[in-house]
Amino acid sequence: MSIISFRGENRFLSNFYPSSIQLEDGVYSNVEAAFQSRKTDIPEEREEIRKLTNPVMAKRRGRKVTLRPNWDKVKLGIMYDFVLQKFTEHEDLKLKLLATGNEELVEMLRGRVTWNNHLGRILMKVRSELQTGEVK
């Protein structure tokens, strides 16, 4: 079986879900804002995004930043790091992720897989690492 929607009871899987992320420049209210801020190396642009508590607004602002030159090479590693932090620092979310067992996690929106299901794959990797004890 698969989980194909990160809404409703599975909303916690979404990067839009409220879960603070602590980075060197401050606390972000969700993974989406933290991720969008890392598209740029300009501190002022990062700070603008950090202050946004609405993940939709953070995503919109992230589309307008000065893109760092290596973004395509580092973005998946950054996403992994933030998802890992979300599920290791928030015990309630960790338990929910583990409760998905071995179900395939597929992020779909309007009947289509989003962004090549990178988030779903990262979630399954983090879950596997939590299951095997590779991450505490």
Domains of the chain: 2-132 (1.10.357.40)
Residue type, 26: G
pTM greater than the 0.85 cutoff: yes
Average pLDDT, the chain: 96
Q: How many CB atoms lie within 10 A of CB 50?
A: 21
Tell me the mean pLDDT in the region 45-57. 98
What pLDDT score was predicted for residue 89?
97
The radius of gyration of the chain's CA atoms, rounded to the nearest angstrom, is: 15
Q: Tell me, what's the pLDDT at 110?
A: 86
Centre a 10 Å sphere on the Cβ of residue 98 and count the other Cβ atoms it contains: 12
pLDDT of residue 136: 66
pLDDT in tens, 80-95: 999 999 999 999 999 9
Q: Which tens digit of pLDDT belongs to each residue from 109-126?
A: 888 998 899 999 999 999
